[in-house]
Amino acid sequence: MQLGYYDQEQRGLNPANTVLEEVWSQYPMLPEAEIRTVLGNFLFSGEDVRKTVGSLSGGEKARVALSKLMLMKANVLVLDEPTNHLDLWSREVLEGALEEYDGTLLFVSHDRYFLNRLADRVVELGPEGAVHFLGNYDEMVAKKRELEEWAAASAAGGASSASGASQSALSPVTDYEADKQAKREERAKQRKREQAEADISTLETEITALEEEMALPEVCTDFVRLREVQSKLEEKQLALETTFALWESLME
């Protein structure tokens, strides 16, 4: 068994390395084209791979760490809060990569959308130990509610009446499951809409700040610095276009 571990604190990254060096140094036998392809899948393209790790944002560092993890090709991945620091588009990239992963995933997360999309078993830890539930987070909540209702009915009417109530409650299984699935999808869509709106607002603020920075005399007369700011601006504008397109699709 080969085990891969994702640390949300990114303590394994060398801040002096460029993005390309950070990944390639761990896999020196791989061709540069393959390294760049994986980095491109995690939104590092062109000159982005020349940025130093120390200059990256929290979300960008997370994407570097995840790129290294994907190249490891471990058959078990242990992930500690993998969606922390990631924007909406980065989360979509990560979730898509993990959905195609053939090995075993063991992860801790407070991201309910992530749990609902990827988990097929939830382990709840409590004072009395661990309780296992088949399914994702919403299915676990629904199952716990059913158990609580059954216990309440049993306490109120005795074992036989509780059995009848349980049979009655579970008879329209098809309608219940369909309704549960529809509600789950609508909640997921709403969360995506809200996150997209927040990301759009953040990106618009960052773009305005970069445009103002480019207009400063000390920046517009310094070609190197101007090019760096312009590169960041283009990156944010592309991210804004992508996020806005996603938001529009979620409004349909």
pLDDT tens figures, 33-54: 889 888 888 888 888 889 998 8
For the full predicted model, state whether its pTM sits above 0.85: no
Residue 175 structure tokens: 């309608």
**Contact in structure between 134 and 112 (CB atoms under 8 Å):** no
Residue 145 structure tokens: 């509610």
**Contact in structure between 95 and 207 (CB atoms under 8 Å):** no
Q: Selecting from 1.10.3470, 1.10.287, 2.60.120, 1.25.40, what CATH number does the domain 173-252 have?
A: 1.10.287
**Contact in structure between 79 and 107 (CB atoms under 8 Å):** yes
Q: Selecting from 2.60.40.1080, 3.40.50.300, 3.50.50.60, 3.40.50.1370, what CATH number does the domain 3-118 have?
A: 3.40.50.300
- The pLDDT of residue 173 is 47
**Nearest CA among 125, 81, 118, 82 for reference residue 103:** 118
- The pLDDT of residue 178 is 66
For the chain, give every residue range classified as CATH 1.10.287: 173-252
Task: Write phi, then psi, for 39 (nearest 5 degrees).
Answer: -65, -35
- The pLDDT of residue 99 is 84
**Contact in structure between 210 and 229 (CB atoms under 8 Å):** yes
**Contact in structure between 3 and 78 (CB atoms under 8 Å):** yes
List of the chain residues with pLDDT < 50 = 162-163, 165-166, 168-173
Residue whose token pair is 């588009």: 89
- The pLDDT of residue 18 is 92
Instruction: Please give the angle made by the CA atoms of 182, 186 and 189, to the nearest 5 degrees.
Output: 140
For the chain, give every residue range classified as CATH 3.40.50.300: 3-118
